[in-house]
Structure 1
Amino acid sequence: ASNENYFTTPFKWIIYYNTPSTVEQLIPIYFASLDILVDSDVTVVIMENEDTFTIKKIFKRHVNTSVIIEDIGNWTIENGFLNNRYEKVTETHIDSIAKVNYVLVQHLSDTVNATLWYSVRNTWGYKDNSSNWSGMIGELTRKEADIGGTALFLTSDRIRIIDYIAMTTPTRSKFIFREPKLSYVTDVFTLPFDGFVWASICGLFVAIAVVLLVVVKWEWKKQKFVEVKNESNESEIHNSWVEVVFITFGALCQQGSSSVPYSFPGRITLIFLYISFMFLYTSYSANIVALLQSSSNSIQTLQDILHSRLDVGVHDTVFNHFYFPNASEPVRKAIYFEKVAPPGQKPKFYSIEEGIRRMRKGLFAFHVETGPGYKLAKLFKRMKNVACKKSSICKYLILGLRQLQENGIQGREVGLIYTKKPQCLSRGRSFISVGLVDCYPAAVVLGGGLSAAVI
């Protein structure tokens, strides 16, 4: 096989061993005379037990040199393939920023051929009362580290002491909330028709009432000169504009009347009144049913959230505890002091699980990083940057990170850890029960009518 160049591209070899204890001794013996060069693809699979297999690659740098054994990883029935060079990232909704940049820094070390020593800190770094920096920035300023292994927000006080060398994480923090029902933000009982239709209905109401009043007055005036026999059992409409208004309003509400005109012009007017308002009532009722099942998309900005009836909570992270209380923008500042931490109340900082649970119940906006937030379930948008202390290796790290971005490795790793916004596939299909809030305007009208009747 070696003489026929079967160990070169595009041939692939998989060699299986079930005796792991002797593999390291057997490989140099059996493959020493073969030309397994760097363009070869020879994989050695070693059975450790019934559930675990070790995977190695073997090759030579030159002809007549020793065989190099490279440890690739392991395969298990429970976890699948695990690459020994790159740790498998799990629970991506927890500290997604750090996990993305951890993987990218590993790729960066391969690109610039560097060895990494990690130092773990519990915070990105903030200035204390003595103007000393804590956390990761503190190590960079004290030259205890050459590069920050996770991304940082770009702020004016940090720019003076560290270099931002690449934008690695397109992270966003947003207010995530379920769209509230339409009845929570507006009066749905006025929405079925627009203003011109409502004006036309009022005009029709007045016109028919005037015509009916004229006919009724004509009937009563006619009775003074001609004897009229009422053959129906219904009582006649009294010669009163109040009774005419009540009959017209009753027709608008789909209610009948015990009094009817006795003349043909009067009855034709009354029939036209009932038919007109019947079609209007049918259209109105159909629209009301649809609107009561609808959600509102009126909340689009921070200003809308501030003036909405939504409760607001914030993800309990170090940077949220720092940035929200120190916000200088008037709207963000008002959201914090009016919604998040009102005077005399405990600030509403929640774990991501608790915040998403409250958000699912409705009428709650949770400020969280979108990657982990979408994983479990507008409008600050920032690009987080990797920081480096001014040193001789910074330019090589910048070139390495740009190469990762150009090659698509950065986009791939971000896509693997950050979850995209889920699509709402059941919009309009699920049933929404009608609550007291939806019937509030109707209850007000009913209460007002009862009060007027008592008075």
Structure 2
Amino acid sequence: MDFINFIISFFVSKKLTLLTAFLCWRPEDVSELMKQGRAAGLRVRALPRFDRLPALPPYRSFREAMLLDIRCDNSTLVLAEASSKRAFNLRHSWLIIDDSPFNVSYLETSLGDALVLPDGDVTWASSDVMVDVYRVKDDQPLVVTSLGPTMSQIALERLWARLPTAVSRRRNLNNVYLKSATIITQPQYFKGWHDLSNRQIDTFPKVTYPLLMLCGEDLKFRFNLKQVDLYGEQRNGTFDGLVGAMQRGELELGVTSMFLRGDRWRVLHFCAETVELRGNFLFRQPARSAVSNVFVLPFSRGVWRALAAVGGAAAALLALCGLLARRGTPDAAAQRLTLLESFTFAVGTICQQGSDLSPSLLSARVLMFCTLLASLFVFTSYSAKIVAILQAPSDALQTLADLTHSPMDLGVQETTYKRVYFAESTDPVTQALYRRKLLPLGERAYLSVVDGIARVRSGLFAFQVEESSAYDVISKTYTEREKCGLKEIKAFTLPMVAVPVRKHSGYRDLLGARLRWQREVGLMDRFRRIWMSSRPKCDAGSGGFVSVGLVDVLPAAHVLLAGALLAALLLLLERLAHAATNSYRSRARFASAPVASGAGEKHQLT
């Protein structure tokens, strides 16, 4: 079979459209390759200078075909560059050609230092046979699998259709050790990977550890595991903790799950998501009286306006009756109905207070009776609604804006990115809450799960926390009635958590495929339910009566206090006005007395 025709058929059968060829052929042979490639819909880029290699990025937005003639001088430069840039992966389909009969010794010598790890797609094609090539680790020998003789495009397409994927073919890693690390942030509480007493501490490592142990058994590799106490934060462009060790290339795999964040993507990769987290504000719904004045809630604004209109109309009509009485009716009580007295009657009627006035005028009596009767109906409805508001389950806080303007204190779970998600949020409501409630507290706003949930239990405190961690503490410490009163408000959407691997790791796709298989068959969900608590069930219900405390009648006490202060102020003003009036009169009498005496003496002398 023509070798050029085979090359074109090989890559076209893999549905590739761009070919980068490292060749030292004659110009006419290169031209023929490019001509046949164009005819088959394959763009060919030939590079004859191996000492000036272009960039070989590990990942592109598309798959790319790579061709190398191993018999060319300096072909080792291409292999070295591809190994150092991790270009031997599933995103690049490599075909290494050798126009001589297959020789395994020559293959091993040529690829002796090439870093073709299990996620590589490298095919060695001799004149008589094709073989699949990879190694389980950089210090392990090559694994060579025969694919049969070189063949036509149709035969190649049938081969790829029946050939298992690379992930399925390469599930035996020969018990190699992979350098890895896990997170134990509080070693004093760590009692083993199967201890369920403190599930809220280091939850991600405890969920991920059994999943990766199953991967180790499935793929036949072992862990060279060490312990670190930090996930890693970025400082001056570098990370510390687990992320920093992977950034420096000291680790291949992290036995934990961590948030998928852009800053971490720059220094490491993730192979598969594990669990979904919800970090909501958790709090006990406060009574209506704690966040609003219950004495203005029973009626809508329209009812309050109607009530004010009725009282004003009654006062005006009574003042009119008093005016008519003073013009010709001998009714002393009716004549006392001045505008101020009528206004006092209207206010007293609304407050269920009577009046000492009992006019004989029939029209005034009917008006006063109707006003008192309307006030009775209004007061009965008002009192019943107040009782209903105080006894009904509260729904006072429903949104982040409600939390922001409520008297509740706020706290945030102590995590690596405790400030970042608030600071990075573009939601103006979230930003307002952060600046008004959290930023002024400084470090006092960040609490452990146990301390934060304990403050939630005491009331008037909202705690932003990972739900699974909070539920574990709540199920152990809260009463059934307290569990029923819990409310959640979403602050922002947390990113998924996933298993981290070294950047451009050769095991990323292999591990990712097996972890996704665990999710599909339910193993991942099983461990999630073991280590991540669900919301406690409310078995006590919300029945019974709620005791009325001082906070419920505090607005009324404020009105009483304001009225007492206003009365005292008016009394003081009255006393001052009375004293000023008496002083003015005394000065006037004293000033007029000498004038009168002089006039008398003058009259006597005359």
TM-score (norm 2): 0.54
1:210 is the counterpart of 2:322: no
CA displacement at 1:252 relative to structure 2: 0.9
Change (3 A) 1:333 1:211: closer
Aligned partner of 1:393 in structure 2 is 507
The one-letter code matched in structure 2 to 1:417 is W
**Which of 119, 128, 137 is residue 243 of structure 2 equivalent to?**
137
Amino acid at match of 1:373: A
Percent of aligned pairs with the same residue?
31
1:104 to 195, 211, 218: 211
Counterpart in 2 of 1:279? 377
After superposition, give the CA deviation of every residue in 1:416-447 in whole Å (9 maximum; x if it has no partner).
222223455544635243224x3343233323
Give per-residue Cα distances to partners, 1:274-317, cap 9 Å, x unaligned: 11101101111121223344565454444443443222222233
Q: 3-state DSSP class of the match of 2:200?
A: coil
Q: Deviations over 1:77-110 (max 9, x none)?
A: xxxxxxxxx8454422222222111222223333
* Letter in structure 1 aligned against 2:362: F
User: Is 1:429 aligned with 2:544?
Assistant: yes
More off after superposition, 444-453 vs 409-418: 444-453
Moved more, 304-313 or 268-277: 304-313
Query: Taking structure 1 as reference, are residues 201 and 307 closer, same or farther at Cα in structure 2, changes over 3 Å only?
Result: closer
The match for 1:248 is: 346
Matched residue SS, 2:440: coil
Work out the CA distance in 1 between the residues paired with 2:449 and 2:195.
Answer: 22
- Please give the alpha-carbon distance, in whole angstroms, between the structure 2 residues aligned to 1:415 and 1:158: 28
CA shift for structure 1 position 380: 3.1
Alignment of structure 1 residues 120-269 onto 2, 5 Å: 120-129=227-236, 131-223=237-329, 238-269=336-367
C-alpha contact 2:469 2:532 (8 A) present in aligned 1 = yes
CA contact (8 A) 1:164 1:385 kept: yes
Matched, 1:444 2:558: yes
Report deviation, 1:384.
Answer: 0.9
Answering whether residue 465 of structure 2 is matched by residue 358 of structure 1, we say no
Query: Residues 220 and 422 from structure 1, CA distance in 2 versus in 1: closer, same or farther, beyond 3 angstroms?
Result: farther
More helix by share: 2
> Greater Rg, structure 1 or structure 2?
2
Q: Secondary structure at the match of 2:534?
A: coil
In the TM superposition, what whole-angstrom CA distance separates every residue of 1:159-189 from its partner, at most 9, and x where no partner exists?
1222222110111222222222222332222
User: What amino acid sits opposite 2:293 in the alignment?
Assistant: D
Structure 2 Cα separation of the partners of residues 91 and 147 of structure 1: 25
Q: Deviations over 1:47-82 (max 9, x none)?
A: xxxxxxxxxxxxxxxxxxxxxxxxxxxxxxxxxxxx
Matched, 1:372 2:469: yes
Q: Is the 8 A contact 1:173 1:367 kept in 2?
A: yes
Provide the rounded CA distance (Å) in 1 between the counterparts of 2:422 and 2:364: 72
2:493 alignment counterpart: 381
What's the CA shift for 1:328?
Answer: 6.6
- Aligned CA RMSD, in angstroms, stands at 3.0
Deviations 1:176-234 (A, max 9, x none): 2222222233222211111111111112112223333344444454535xxx7x9xxxx
Q: Answer whether contact 1:359 1:366 (CA < 8 A) is retained.
A: yes
In 2, the alpha carbon distance for the partners of 1:431 and 1:89 equals: 36
The number of residue pairs the alignment matches comes to 359
Letter in 1 for 2:498: N
* Distance 1:87-1:295 versus aligned 2 partners, 3 A rule: closer
Please tell me the residue identity of whatever aligns with 1:375: D
Confirm or deny: 8 A CA contact 1:172 1:370 kept in the other structure. yes
SS in 1 for 2:228: coil
**Any idea what SS the aligned residue of 1:106 has?**
helix
- The CA distance in 2 between the partners of 1:447 and 1:339, in whole Å, is 30
Code of the aligned partner of 1:316: E
Partner of 1:414: 528
Task: Name 2:201's counterpart in structure 1.
Answer: 94
Question: Given the superposition, is the C-alpha separation of residues 241 and 87 from structure 1 closer, same or farther in structure 2, using an over 3 Å criterion?
Answer: closer
The answer on whether the counterparts of 2:207 and 2:528 sit within 8 Å (CA) in structure 1 is yes
d(CA) in 1 for partners of 2:298, 2:376:
15
Aligned residue identity for 2:265: I
SS of 1:124's partner is coil
Corresponding residue for 1:404? Answer: 518
Separation in 2, partners of 1:293, 1:155: 46
Deviation, 1:264, is 3.1
Counterparts of 2:271 and 2:198 in 1: how far apart (Å)?
Answer: 28
Give the 3-state SS of the residue equivalent to 1:366 in structure 2.
Answer: strand
SS at match of 1:281: helix
CA distance in 2, matches of 1:117, 1:430: 60
* Residue 324 of structure 1, CA deviation: 6.5
Q: Supply the distance in 1 between the matched residues of 2:262 and 2:443 (Cα, whole angstroms).
A: 30
Amino acid at match of 2:499: V
Partners of 1:444 and 1:122 lie apart in 2 by 53
Q: How far apart are the structure 2 equivalents of 1:305 and 1:95?
A: 29
2:45 is aligned to: none
Aligned position for 1:51: none
Q: Which amino acid aligns with 2:356?
A: S
- 2:410 aligns with 312
Paired residues of 1:324 and 1:336 also in contact (CA < 8 A): no
Q: CA deviation at 1:123?
A: 1.1
Structure 1 residues 293 and 203: alpha-carbon distance in aligned structure 2, compared to 1, 3 A threshold? same
The CA distance in 1 between the partners of 2:465 and 2:275, in whole Å, is 15
Tell me, in whole angstroms, the C-alpha distance in 1 between the residues paired with 2:324 and 2:505. Answer: 102
Relative to structure 1, is the Cα distance of residues 441 and 410 closer, same or farther in structure 2, using a 3 angstrom cutoff?
Answer: same
C-alpha separation in 1, matches of 2:384 and 2:513? 63
Match of 1:290 in 2: 388
Aligned to 1:75: none
| Distance change in 2, residues 1:172/1:190 (3 Å) | same
Q: Which fold has the larger relative contact order, with Cα–Cα distance below 8 Å and residues 6 or more apart in sequence?
A: 1
2:285, 2:394 within 8 Å by CA — same for their partners in 1?
yes
Correspondence list, 1:34-49, <5 A:
none
Q: Deviations over 1:95-130 (max 9, x none)?
A: 22221112222233333343333222111123344x
Aligned mates of 2:432, 2:351 — CA distance in 1: 45
CA distance in 1, matches of 2:522, 2:211: 11
Deviation at 1:346, TM superposition (A): 5.0
Quick one: distance in 2 between partners of 1:137 and 1:400?
Answer: 23
Contact kept? 2:318, 2:337, Cα under 8 Å: no
Taking the aligned partners of 2:406 and 2:565, their CA distance within structure 1 comes to 31
Partners of 1:256 and 1:325 lie apart in 2 by 57
